[in-house]
Amino acid sequence: MKMLGVFGILVHVSQHAFGVEVYEGVGSVLLPCQISSVPLRPTVVWSRYDLTPSTIHQRYPEGDDFKNQNQRFRDRTSMKTDTLVTGDLSLTLRRPCLSDSGNYTCTVTVFGNEQRLADVELQVKDPFPPWAKGLVAVSVVLVVLAVAVGLFIYCYYFRTVPQVEVESGAESVQLPFRTTTDLPEDVTVEWRDWNNRKVHVYQDGSDRPEKQDEFYRNRTEMKKDLLRTGDLSLTLKHPICRGIYICRVYNREGRVLREKQVKLWDKVPQEEVVVESGAESVQLPFITTADLPGDVTMKWKDKDNRKVHVYQDGSDRPEEQDEFYRNRTEMKKDLLRTGDLSLTLKHPTDRDIFTCRVYREGRVLMEKDVKLEVKDQRPVKRIEDKEESVDIRNRSSSTDPTPLMADQSV
């Protein structure tokens, strides 16, 4: 009966609609939503259903969860820390811009039942009338060169994302991040990848492996005294994913204190293989020590981008091969266990460059180039035969007695 009463309150509140107007450029705007009684262990979600993903902010009883948040609102939203105690579910949106105008919906979910609490129509207005914009445009022309130089210096010297290169199959790589040593002891340090997966979490003075994405479990490490030294670098074991990694440092209220991006890029190795013309087969080598997940896709292609061999979902896919290579290729059966991704090519016919790429969820985890050289001995033999015939004629002209006798008769 108590739970039914709570949901009665929620249904009553959901009938409220609000309109909020604000000028672009103000510090923040508050989107109101309140309930008189907070149910047991609710999940509060602010959404804009015209966007994808639609989640603007999400609050669990354990705290905020930004995993599914729309990237446009990253680091711009917050709720009060005691919101699930007081019933004030209002959302603070920082740095509102014109594109933030729209309908925002606050919902709460309790034991799988979702209730709509409030709809807020936000209108972000332009603070400058048209005539003022024209005046500003004229003024901007006078200083555009200075602004351009300033932006160039800022973008290329202060915001350039550092790159870290790693050899394919390396045991580990370090993503560097050094900052000042004045961090409070209650900070949270999170490393995430480009898919927003949690690579490593440090919280309350220790690592939190239970909050990692399973893909990175037992593969990351940070310094033990990172708060004392300010060294927030991350050691990533068996790096097989290239892309942008982001480290953020949050205070207890969820505000970002520090942020660093590191681009991880692997060098594409190339190996050369030479085989005699007419050979039955040749092996294009590719061996890695990385621990590959079971859902990877491997594609060998030639220089013309034809599919030489495809491995997907734990088995070969001959139907995806180019007809030129049909029934001429083979890979190891236990390649995920051994890391031997080499390709056996039957009846090699010509020189070529073959590339093997390993994909997961559409991203390249690793790749390798193999240059194949097919040696044809027939032209060399013809040259040797010609040289031999020349030598015979030379020997005949110098040692055969018949020409000498003919000269004497003359």
pLDDT digits (tens, 9 = 90+) for 287-336: 887 778 888 999 999 988 899 999 998 999 999 999 999 999 999 988 98
Burial class (CB in 10 A: 0-12, 13-18, 19+), 46: buried
Most confident of the following: 142-156, 188-202, 282-296: 188-202
What is the pLDDT at residue 138? 67
What is the pLDDT at residue 324? 93
**Helices vs. strands in the chain: H and E counts, helices first:** 7, 27
pTM: 0.38
Q: In what order do the strands lie in the sheet with 16-23?
A: 16-23, 113-125, 102-110, 43-47, 55-60, 63-64
Name the band, by pLDDT with cuts 50, 70 and 90, for residue 151. Answer: low
Mean pLDDT of 36-48: 91
Spatial CA neighbour of 241 closest among 296, 302, 190, 313: 296
pLDDT at 358 > cutoff 50? yes
pLDDT at 387 > cutoff 50? no
Name the band, by pLDDT with cuts 50, 70 and 90, for residue 96. Answer: very high
Cα gap 314→225, rounded to integer Å: 42
Helix (H) or strand (E) holding 78: strand 77-78
What the chain holds in terms of domains, given with CATH numbers, is 2-125 (2.60.40.10), 163-266 (2.60.40.10), 270-375 (2.60.40.10)
pLDDT (tens digit, 9 = 90+) per residue, 217-262?
999 999 989 988 999 999 998 776 677 899 999 998 889 999 999 9
pLDDT at 183 > cutoff 80? yes
Say which range, 112-116, 150-154, 394-398, has the weakest mean pLDDT.
394-398
pLDDT at 141 > cutoff 80? no
3-state secondary structure of 385: helix
What is the pLDDT at residue 405? 36
Those residues whose C-beta lies under 8 Å from the C-beta of residue 90, and which sit 6 or more positions away, are 30, 31, 32, 33, 34, 79, 80, 83
